[in-house]
Amino acid sequence: MTATGIDKTYDGTTTATVTLSDDRLAGDALTDSYLSASFSDKNVGSGKTVTVTGIAISGADAANYSANPNTATTASISSRKLTVTASGVAKVYDGTTLATVTLSDDRVSGDVFSDADASATFSDKNVGTAKIVSVSGITISGIDAANYSPINATATTAADITPRSLTVSAIASNRPYDGTTSASVTLNDNRVPGDALTDAFTGATFSDKNAGVAKTVAVTGISISGVDAGNYVLGNTTASAAADITARAIALTLRSSIAKTPALVRCFPRSSSPTEIPDTTTLLSSTM
């Protein structure tokens, strides 16, 4: 009995298939069979040894023959095509197109190797749902990796970029007392560096109009606008800060005057009673 091995695609097993033939007499009725045929190992290769065991014959003329129970032949195991797929992982907006994916494949169950990619990128950096993610540089490595070829080097998937929470804070400016509660503030936020945003507010007021140190300033109506505003969700529409209202300096001017008035001089002649007459010779005056 002889066997002819049949080539197969890698399937992770040593199982082989053979065709038996024999040197029976022409016209005799026989059926050849075998219990097992196996490759020397499961791996891809050409001209690999196939061992056939449990050879038997049956049929009307079988009793007239004695068959060899075992034989050997050769056959090849060719590489198995591997398809690697990617699943995108959602992320919070970070100002980049970098993406994260999880790779999977249709390997033979139990085989040991790892899938890897060189890059995974969103189509753009902006917030959106089911955004296209392009994966490139896909490779495999590990004990069983050599049994697979070809493999796809690229894949496409989708994932979401969700808005980033933006916190706006305020810094208030000191000012002198002006009889109002109006305040001036500068807004800051935790945007991704380089993003184009404008922070705005509708009101900023001290708790009262009076002079004081580290007085609370309430900021209201906070909003954002700009090219990258759509990538953020505003975490607060109000904020608090502190600043001083300093006492206002007052300039005082003192003015005083007394009118000049002629003085009266009393003249007392020696021989008569006093008589009040204006002094026509001397006028006394004083000025303050």
Q: Which residues pair with 210 in a beta bridge?
A: none
How many structural domains compose the chain?
Answer: 3
Contact present, 55 and 22 (Cβ < 8 Å): no
Give the C-alpha separation, 148 to 146, whole Å. 5
Q: DSSP class of residue 264?
A: P
Question: For residue 282, what pLDDT is reported?
Answer: 42
Instruction: For residues 39 and 106, state if they share a domain.
Output: no
Q: Is 259 within a domain?
A: no
Instruction: For residues 115 and 182, state if they share a domain.
Output: no
Instruction: For residues 45 and 115, state if they share a domain.
Output: no
Residue in this structure with the two tokens 């989708």, named with its chain if needed: 158
Q: Is 255 within a domain?
A: no
- Binned at pLDDT 50, 70 and 90, residue 283 comes out as very low
Query: What's the whole-number average pLDDT of the chain?
Result: 92
Q: Is 284 within a domain?
A: no
What whole-number percentage of the chain has pLDDT above 90?
86
Q: DSSP class of residue 91?
A: E
Give the C-alpha separation, 103 to 160, whole Å. 17
CA dihedral 212, 216, 217, 218 (to 10 degrees): -150
Instruction: For residues 152 and 101, state if they share a domain.
Output: yes
Range of the domain at 236: 166-246
Number of H helices, E strands in the chain: 0, 30
Question: For residue 203, what pLDDT is reported?
Answer: 98
